[in-house]
Structure 1
């Protein structure tokens, strides 16, 4: 059975970049890596700049300014359960669990070693 990143627990499934200047970051990576970035329509009527490799979106650029750099999204079987386990193991909750309509349930943690990851369950959209 093939590893499907959006349904396989523990699989990296999305990359998101945030910076103080999202448009400049997008242009930088389009130039350096030759990425195609397409506007992906969202359910709320906005667009999300998605990185497309081949024919599949694999990540994107946060349209909101921030200074987090790259954030990996890891598919999990249950965001709330995994969030509780992460907290018990010493993680700091960066963003509490929330449901993004049309995307899924997600939360962001900082592990005790300085790394940040987002946990996501796409089935809870």
Structure 2
């Protein structure tokens, strides 16, 4: 598959890259490689896309016009519980939209993401 002009890498500012790493390892099973104390890379094999977290004073949210990264889950309610248990803050509880259901959360480094499913609730 050609890669020219396709999204290849995504970077997130994080107020606490180590906390972001611990959260995504715990909740989603992502793997990381540290490149010094202020940069952590994740890989496509575990996250679906290569990318990383860099230390920053601010993070991404939809309220400030940031892009919303949306993850997929086969078990949405379970994923929401895991997000909360690992220190994520739910900012939009599960809601329906045409094609599925989703929720939005803030991870410990300050970034807003969402998780969606096309599966009916169990």
TM-score (norm 2): 0.45
Q: Which is richer in strand? A: 1
TM-score (norm 1): 0.44
